[in-house]
Every structure is written in structure tokens, then in C-alpha cells.
Homo-oligomer: A and B are copies of this chain.
Amino acid sequence: MNSIGKFFRVTTFGESHGFCIGVVIDGCPAGLKIDANKIQNELNRRKPGQSSISTNRDESDKLQILSGVFNEHTTNAPICMIIPNNSTDSGYYEKNWMNPRPSHADFTAYNKYGGQNDYRGGGIFSGRITASFVMAGAVAKQLLSETLGITIIGFTSSIGGISVPPLSYSEIIRNTELNKVRCPDNDTALKMIQAIETVRNEGDSIGGTVDCIALNIPVGLGDPIFDTLEGELSKALFAIPAVKAVEFGAGKKFSEMKGSEANDPFMILEGKVITKTNNAGGILGGISTGMPLVLKTTFKPTPSISKPQNTVNLQKLEETVITIHGRHDPCIVPRAVPVVESVVAIVLADHALRAGYISPVLEEKA
């Protein structure tokens, strides 16, 4: 359903062309100072119209906190946040909702809900729903940062096969936000931007990958057998529309490796047990090792392209052709970076609470 998490529990609501997009966080510890500007900043990183390469739809995405914050601090009561919608033109959808857009959720939603779903702008299947992840993720980031010093860094690692070269964590942290594709290597960024502009001019779109790293993770997050850190993260990441693959550490490369190459030997550094390499991506047996968490998500190209496409009319059961109008991102990857970070933050906050690394009351009040 529309909830995730056991202790830091996130419930989303709202539709693309409805009144608002919203989220309820249940279980956030009491006593966390909430900086609404930081939440708004994260929303701004995700919102459309940030640059020449994204859609120019105007969505102000103005945060409203409806509950759960008292004297600028959390109370452990549910935190409800919304961003009202505006600038919605549902004309295209009213005319075309019987003609499902290829590789969108139109067809499955129509079937699952007997045509009762809100099809305007994709309804709850719109990428706009990820604004709710960002609001919740921004709170989770503040929680993780305040209590455990955890930093979560996402970046565009490839677009259309153009990949970032290996970089240090500090380079990634320093450079990611310096260009409009959120690629921490500037030369690669320029090539990516060119690739995006090319497909945009063709009326096409392009896929890519977002990597995410989390630093200062304590040993011991994640539960066997089913609630592994990989399992819980991947489940949450697949909630992001367009994600079609999730990898941890060496990920798919493991399939070509030998054990002697893949295994991460243990060693001692400054009295602490670490691993020499981190092919595991910071997770063994589903549980965090204390090494950086490293994961990669693959995004399919935005299915909304302006080229004519074959589809069917569901009412007449006839084949037909559609041309999607509207202002769509030729590449969703750069805007997806804060969304991936947010989802990772939500899962880590939940597991840090489960494992007792964050207590339900952060700070006693006088």
C-alpha cells in the first residue's frame, strides 16, 4: 500500500493534478529540531523547471507542515506535510485517458482499478508523488545527521551510457551540485548535458543511473532473514517510478568475479575493524558493516516522448497512435538524485530506530 517503514513509517497521499501531494511520517523521535528551510531546499532540488534541461512546468512546491511539529521540534506525533498543486492542465488526459501511454502505468492502473483511477497527470503514478518522498527524506536526513552524523550523497553516475569515472567521496561531495545534471565530474557532465539536449531535440528521452553513498553508518543496521538492508532499501527504491534495477557494492560485476577478487579482507585501522575493499557495498548478511553504503539505481528513459507511438484504445479495443504533448523531462535522472537520497534516508532512519541506535526521545525538555 502507500506506507513504508516499521518505526519511521511514511505514508503518502495526493495525486498529480489533485489538491496536493502529501506525506505523513509516523514514529519520528521527539525532540528533533525541524528546519523547514532544509525541507524546502530538498523540494527545490527535485522540483521541475530548475534548468534548461528539465521540464519548464512551473510547480512552486511550497511546503506546509500540518502537524507533528511544536515549538520547531518534533513531538513523536505524526508529521503531516503537503505541497499544494498548481499549474495543472488536465486537458490532454481528459481527451486521451482511454489510450494508455506506452510504458506508463496508464494501462495497469486502468485495469487494476476498473477505470476508476485518477488518470490526470498519471494520478498517484506520477513522478510528482516523489515530492512526498523528498519531504519525508528531508526529515530523515536531519534525524540521521543530528544523531549519528550520517551523510547521504546521491549523484548521476551515467546518462545514456556516458559514465562518470571513479572519484573519491570528497570529490563527489564537493562537485555533484555544481552542474545541472548532478554529475560530480564536470567533463562528463558536459557530455551528459549534450546527450540530453540531443534527445530532447529529437522528441525522445534517455535513461541513466543514480549512485548513492551513505557515510558513517554504524555496524548492525538491517535484520535477517527478510528485512535485510539490501531488501528494505531496494523495496523502497523501486517505489521511485522508472527505477528498474538496484545493485549494491560491486553489484552486477560480482557475476564475473572470483571469490578471491570479490571478498573484502578484514583489517584493523586505528583500532577499528574495517575491510580493505568494499565490494560488499557496506552490507554483509543483510546487515551494515560500518563501511560506506554503496548502491546504484537504474532509471529507464522517461516514457513520455513526443514521437508518435503505437497504443490501443481500451474502450474500442482498437489499435491507435498517440502523440504525447506536455512538458516532460527528456531525462529524469538529475531530478531523481534527491529522490534516491531521500528514500535511502527513510530506510536508514527506520533501521537506526529498529536497532536502537536512535532513541525515541532525542532530548528531554526542561
Interface residues of A (CB under 8 A from B): 1-4, 6, 9, 11-15, 18-20, 22, 24, 26-27, 30-31, 66-68, 70, 73-80, 82, 100, 102-105, 107-109, 111-118, 120, 123-125, 129, 158-161, 199, 202, 204-209, 219-220, 222-228, 230-232, 234-239, 241, 243-252, 254-268, 271, 273, 275-276, 279-281, 284-289, 298-305, 307, 309-312, 314-315, 317-319, 355-356, 359-361, 363-366
Question: Do the beta carbons of B70 and A310 come within 8 Å of each other?
Answer: no
Chain B residues with CB under 8 A of A78: 2, 11-14, 124
Residue of B nearest to A115 (CB): B365
Question: Do the beta carbons of B285 and A104 come within 8 Å of each other?
Answer: yes
Which of B66, B74, B239 is close to A116, meaning CB atoms less than 8 Å apart?
B74
Bound together, the chains give a CA A206 to CA B284 distance in angstroms of 18
Which of B160, B260, B276 is close to A305, meaning CB atoms less than 8 Å apart?
B260
4 closest Cβ pairs, A-B complex: A105-B285, A115-B365, A205-B259, A231-B238
Question: Do the beta carbons of B207 and A284 come within 8 Å of each other?
Answer: no
Question: Do the beta carbons of A26 and B2 come within 8 Å of each other?
Answer: yes
Measured CB to CB, the closest approach of chain B to A302, in angstroms, equals: 6
Question: Do the beta carbons of A9 and B1 come within 8 Å of each other?
Answer: yes
Bound together, the chains give a CA A18 to CA B249 distance in angstroms of 32
Residue of B nearest to A9 (CB): B1
CB-CB under 8 A for A238 and B244, given A105-B285, A207-B257: no
Question: Do the beta carbons of B258 and A112 come within 8 Å of each other?
Answer: no
Chain B residues with CB under 8 A of A232: 235
- Name 5 A/B residue pairs within 8 A (Cβ), A-sorted: A3-B226, A70-B117, A70-B118, A76-B117, A255-B298
Which of B1, B112, B245, B289 is close to A287, meaning CB atoms less than 8 Å apart?
B112
Question: Do the beta carbons of A239 and B228 come within 8 Å of each other?
Answer: yes
Question: Do the beta carbons of A208 and B255 come within 8 Å of each other?
Answer: yes
Bound together, the chains give a CA A120 to CA B208 distance in angstroms of 43
Bound together, the chains give a CA A279 to CA B79 distance in angstroms of 33
Question: Do the beta carbons of A286 and B238 come within 8 Å of each other?
Answer: yes
Bound together, the chains give a CA A105 to CA B248 distance in angstroms of 15
Chain B residues with CB under 8 A of A9: 1, 3
Question: Do the beta carbons of B273 and A66 come within 8 Å of each other?
Answer: no
Given contacts A105-B284, A257-B300, 5 further A-B contacts (CB under 8 A): A13-B78, A20-B67, A115-B365, A245-B247, A247-B252
Chain B residues with CB under 8 A of A303: 259, 262-263
Residue of B nearest to A355 (CB): B360
Bound together, the chains give a CA A115 to CA B112 distance in angstroms of 31
Question: Do the beta carbons of A2 and B225 come within 8 Å of each other?
Answer: yes
Measured CB to CB, the closest approach of chain B to A250, in angstroms, equals: 7
